[in-house]
Structure 1
């Protein structure tokens, strides 16, 4: 007779592996080839518990306020799935190799000029500089996870842990992740930050199949608008990847096996298959 089940949906990848991987991806990525690999994400974890009979109203999704870091074998190979030679360097506050609190990560981004990237398949950020690499959650990804919690009707969330948030506000707002997450859970509809220009996409040099990313602090400009179903929309999933709605260019889908995730571009934008992101209509063949 449990009151709540706290699902620790993090540490799904880390420096114990031989390639870089995100600590807590929302969805599977294109590098996830095996059935086991396709289960190492938030969506698959929550879906499994629900299929096994766990009541959604008793399930709390765990969200990490830290990242798992790696030391790259090749500084020019820095995407998700890049060869790694061990844990990343310890941070100035947590003193643990292979682990960086969000407060340490945001300072590296802001003051040490680390490169920020966004993985469109897994819907999470990562960052790198020289031979150091970290996969973590930021304000955008915790907003998406707040949306996920509400769409699946879960009880709520738990975080690990608030002392690794930016509690001094050195990078901006104090407790930036916790504040953003709370706002996301309070409101009925939450959207991610948009830029004045549509996001541009660049693909990791040595892993073209692995991830589409946005760099230098740009953000994904579309959000999921419906829960996952087996057969939503006018098309069905037969392979993993992105597909545009044949009847509405502002809608698109991400297929994960036979499961489809439905998305909607912001008003006035179309989904551009050439860059796997939303773009101005005049730049899109539709």
Structure 2
């Protein structure tokens, strides 16, 4: 954090003091965001863990046909080392690390539904889950159960509760966290998919979400998570789930940090107006109807930005493009509702979509808006290192290895943490991420020495000597 940001944080702390209550701040990290290009490519160690109490890993996890928990993206989670290093992210303020199963993807949703509806597969799931958590030193699981609102069967509602009952017993025995992500919309079809009292009873936390990845393909312009409004609003979701579940402290308010884009029909920009479908594919995230805030915010001068005071959310237009997003004002309003409703905390979904590098001002500006309302600002002002800085790491920074452009390391609190780019990429010290070899300047003009070669003496010892065994 830069000096100006520290001064700003200090001023906020002096005015507001620390939070009166302890809130949970869940930071969801989409491992698949590594596929983004250039400035939007995000590694897990970019996350400012001082602002998270829990880290939730998404993408790359699933179940097989027998119900066994498995890794579905070995390249990222195993070969790239993200999962093995997950425990090392439990630093600063992070207490627990969870992983996510399910979601909107048809294949994962279908396999999870098959497990939930079969007692033999459920038993295999419980057994394999405890082994999986221990192996990878994880603390819990989030079941993303949004799909029922799309194509649910009548028996899914009952089967899901039965599944959670067994999962709770296993969690109590093996001491891990159970969290469920649900659609918080209050339309009749969505509510019919959930037995709210039973779900809330069987889990530790309920991630109350309004956004759905399919929304951009609808034929109407829609906000990601409006504070107010009919059927799809955070206010209605909180009231309904709090009343039906009788445990508001278990409810976690989902805050979408990404942007949903639409193509307007006849440039009608009022929410609810006809849409031609998803917005244009962008060069970094390359997904129609989707942008990260990090990708969009440097170009705000090209957009007309508006704030809807009725629904308490911003939106922006450019030509025939329309985007829904969050900003400090909308998040602040949601945090007021969260605190007044005595909820358990918030979920930043997903932190890789935030302005993590501070391209547009405050680093992780959207996450900071959540943390400012719920966290303890003093934790951001701590500058005392946990370890004595060594000569190899005198200050916090990212550096490329002197001998190999694929290798790089982070200096953090006097310690080095080493990483390696995938084959065909070099670490770019200016941009602080891996890029294709031909796009990165890499001078490797060292002198190689192998055992058996003539020895150097003090007079001709080269400074750029590399010893190769």
TM superposition score category, shorter chain reference: 0.5 to 0.7
Partner SS for 2:238: helix
Given that residues 59 and 154 in structure 1 are in contact (C-alpha distance below 8 angstroms), is that contact kept between their aligned partners in structure 2? yes
Q: Is residue 87 from structure 1 mapped to residue 284 from structure 2 by the alignment? A: no
Distance 1:174 1:136 in 2: 17
Unpaired runs of at least 5, structure 2: 1-201, 377-469
Counterparts of 1:7-18 in structure 2 under 5 Å? 7-11=208-212, 14-18=215-219
Distance 1:175 1:86 in 2: 30
Considering Cα pairs closer than 8 Å and 6+ residues apart, tell me whether 1 or 2 has the greater RCO: 1
TM superposition shift of 1:9:
2.6
Partner SS for 1:144: helix
Q: Is residue 96 from structure 1 mapped to residue 96 from structure 2 by the alignment? A: no
Q: Is residue 53 from structure 1 mapped to residue 254 from structure 2 by the alignment? A: no
Of 356, 365, 380, the residue aligned with 1:167 is 356
TM-score (norm 1): 0.58
TM superposition shift of 1:74:
1.2
TM superposition shift of 1:172:
1.0
Partner SS for 1:168: coil
Q: Which has the larger radius of gyration?
A: 2
Given that residues 19 and 82 in structure 1 are in contact (C-alpha distance below 8 angstroms), is that contact kept between their aligned partners in structure 2? yes
Of 304, 312, 317, the residue aligned with 1:128 is 317
TM superposition shift of 1:14:
2.5
Distance 1:105 1:80 in 2: 20
Unpaired runs of at least 5, structure 1: 29-37, 188-286
Of 118, 139, 146, the residue aligned with 2:335 is 146
* Cα separation, partners in 2 of 1:13 and 1:150, compared to 1, 3 Å: farther
Given that residues 346 and 370 in structure 2 are in contact (C-alpha distance below 8 angstroms), is that contact kept between their aligned partners in structure 1? no
Aligned length: 175
TM superposition shift of 1:68:
1.2
* Cα separation, partners in 2 of 1:12 and 1:149, compared to 1, 3 Å: farther
Distance 1:137 1:175 in 2: 13
Counterparts of 1:1-286 in structure 2 under 5 Å? 1-11=202-212, 14-28=215-229, 38-75=230-267, 77-110=268-301, 113-186=302-375
Partner SS for 2:330: helix
Partner SS for 1:14: helix
Distance 1:91 1:172 in 2: 22
Given that residues 316 and 324 in structure 2 are in contact (C-alpha distance below 8 angstroms), is that contact kept between their aligned partners in structure 1? yes
TM-score (norm 2): 0.36
Residue of structure 2 in register with 1:230 after alignment: none
* Cα separation, partners in 2 of 1:109 and 1:54, compared to 1, 3 Å: farther
Given that residues 13 and 68 in structure 1 are in contact (C-alpha distance below 8 angstroms), is that contact kept between their aligned partners in structure 2? no
Distance 1:85 1:126 in 2: 17
TM superposition shift of 1:181:
1.2
> Any runs of at least 4 consecutive aligned residues in structure 1 with deviations exceeding 4 A, and if so which?
none
TM superposition shift of 1:70:
0.4
Given that residues 257 and 366 in structure 2 are in contact (C-alpha distance below 8 angstroms), is that contact kept between their aligned partners in structure 1? yes
TM superposition shift of 1:11:
2.8
Q: Report Cα offsets for 1:159-216 as digits up to 9, x if no partner.
A: 11000000111111111101111001248xxxxxxxxxxxxxxxxxxxxxxxxxxxxx
Given that residues 14 and 69 in structure 1 are in contact (C-alpha distance below 8 angstroms), is that contact kept between their aligned partners in structure 2? no
Given that residues 20 and 84 in structure 1 are in contact (C-alpha distance below 8 angstroms), is that contact kept between their aligned partners in structure 2? yes
Partner SS for 2:356: coil
Q: Report Cα offsets for 1:27-83 as digits up to 9, x if no partner.
A: 00xxxxxxxxx11111111111112124011111111001211001213x2221222
Given that residues 13 and 22 in structure 1 are in contact (C-alpha distance below 8 angstroms), is that contact kept between their aligned partners in structure 2? no
Distance 1:81 1:74 in 2: 13
